Amino acid sequence: MSDLVPDDTVIIIFGANGDLAKRKLLPALHHLWVEGLMPEQWRVIGDARSDVGDEEFRAFARAGVEEFGKGSYDPERWDEFAHNLSFVTTEFRVGNTSDLAAAVERAEAEIGGRPRRLVYLSTPPPTFGPLTQALGEAGLTERARVIYEKPFGLDHASFSELDELVRGCLDEEQIYRIDHFLGKESVQNILALRFANGMFEAMWNRNHIDHVQIDVPETLGIGARAGFYEKTGALRDMVVTHLFQVLSVVAMEPPSTLEQRPLIDEKQKVFESMRDLRAEDVVLGQYEGYREAEGVAADSQTDTFAALRLYIDNWRWDGVPFYLRTGKRMAASRQSVTLAFRRPPATMFRGVQRNGLERDHLTFELGGDGGVRFNFLAKQPGPTISLGRASMSFAYEQSFGSELIEAYERLLHDALMGDRTLFTRADGIGRTWEVVADILDHPPTVLPYAQESWGPQEALDLIRPRDWHLPCEDD
């Protein structure tokens, strides 16, 4: 058996008829199966309160694979995959666990032996505690690994309460707190570029870098997620989770190895060094028209936009500002990290014409096909010296001739294999909630901004005299 083939497993997905399951989880499992990376024997049991039969669930999965499965759908093989899918309609909770427990028992009997269990909680954060308690009551935590979607808690108090509850039912090695940004090849490439190439690590510090930007604007609105979004908002949903995790990868010290404990230990040191946010460091916004969406309160103060300035108080990054921005219904969609370098002494080129590049910078594109672009100044052709912008770029598909593995595919496979390297750890999550605690307790005014804009003017002012690095600047 290949070292990449997991042990036989029964997979339980709570919220299996939801958007995440359709767009990400079921297509990811299907693609892993196509690539021979699923267990030899496996079953998927979907669970939700909705009245869904097995065939309806299989049709739902097929629609997801056809639309979001990157061309992996093969009608001639579909029945072979779909045979392993089933659905249980139940409100799974303490005192009402028998239907799902019986379905798991039947699936395990079909597989034979003592297969592992992988549980995915694709449900709102308030359900994590009750579902975990019900899993314990039903005896389904035995031989189980449990994946928790983000955010893990909604503030430090709720995180601590949830963490205590979960640890009362599961050993730490069974707990997989997912942040799909960590599964992106392009995020892992930051580590490769830094630590596998001698020229980059030497300049990856306050002596050479003026500031860092982590930018994740989105053109989409909240869709049908008002019930979730009204309880979270951009700061909780995106910044404390995705953007802080990416920041830890950018800012970490070299780990002794790329194994689980050394890697997570170095990320934790970054979190511990992050300065707690103050009101003057944060701009929150809400796009015009948000309150008109179904399920949104007429006087909602939920933030759909967040921009912040953050400092890391350690030797490497002392005095270097990190600017983070994310928002809904913005002018463009992008996921990028930009390192802007300090200007060199200007005496040599004083009076020389410069064509539009404020400072040289290195940009990692985390979305789409992923890649790296280095923008710099070079001499323009001609009899006199004038400087023009130039760039060098790397793209995965052009360089390696293959598609990136999708983040959920990587993380689901890691969970099936029992590899927690790219999952988050409780002490790190707890510290990130501490960083934003004062903002959550005393939030700044939520400012309106026009749809298809770059957010409130105050976010542009936050970064002055610098500017946000926009997608059009790389064209």
Element (H, E) at 371: strand 371-379
DSSP state of 403: P
d(CA 117, CA 122): 16
140 SS3 class: coil
Task: Please give the structure tokens belonging to residue 89.
Answer: 């309609």
DSSP state of 330: B
Whether 9-149 and 182-474 share one fold: the answer is no
CA 309 to chain centre: 20
**Which candidate in 30, 31, 242, 469 is catalytic?**
242
Task: Please give the structure tokens belonging to residue 123.
Answer: 């449900």
Give the contacts of 3 (CB within 8 A, at least 6 positions apart).
none
Q: What are phi and psi of 86, to 5 degrees?
A: -145, 170
Identity at 170, one-letter amino acid code: L
> pLDDT at position 175, please?
96
CB 5 within 8 A of CB 40: yes
Quick one: which of 370, 402, 404, 366 has its CA closest to 28?
Answer: 404
> pLDDT at position 257, please?
85
Cα angle for residues 439, 441, 445 (degrees, 5° grid):
60
Quick count: other Cβ atoms within 10 Å of Cβ 150? 21
> pLDDT at position 449, please?
97
Q: Is 180 a catalytic residue?
A: no
CATH 2.60.40.10 for domain 9-149:
no
CA-to-CA separations, 464 to 195, 211, 279, 309, in angstroms, rounded: 31, 12, 17, 11
Q: Structural domain boundaries of the chain?
A: 9-149, 182-474
| CATH architecture under which domain 182-474 falls | 2-Layer Sandwich (3.30)
* pTM of this structure: 0.90
Residue that is written with structure tokens 């916004």 in the block: 285
> pLDDT at position 386, please?
72
Per-residue pLDDT of the chain (475 residues; tens, 9 = 90+): 468 899 999 999 999 999 999 999 999 999 999 999 999 999 999 999 989 999 999 999 999 999 998 777 888 899 999 999 999 999 999 999 999 999 999 999 999 999 999 999 999 888 999 999 999 999 999 999 999 998 888 899 999 999 999 999 999 999 999 988 888 888 888 888 888 888 888 889 999 999 999 999 999 998 878 888 898 999 999 999 999 999 999 999 999 987 888 999 999 999 999 999 999 999 999 999 999 998 999 999 999 999 999 999 999 999 999 999 999 999 999 999 999 998 877 666 666 655 555 678 888 888 776 778 887 777 778 777 777 777 787 877 666 655 557 889 999 999 999 999 999 999 999 999 999 999 999 999 999 999 999 999 999 999 999 988 876 555 4
Quick one: which of 196, 251, 241 has its CA closest to 216?
Answer: 241
> pLDDT at position 194, please?
87
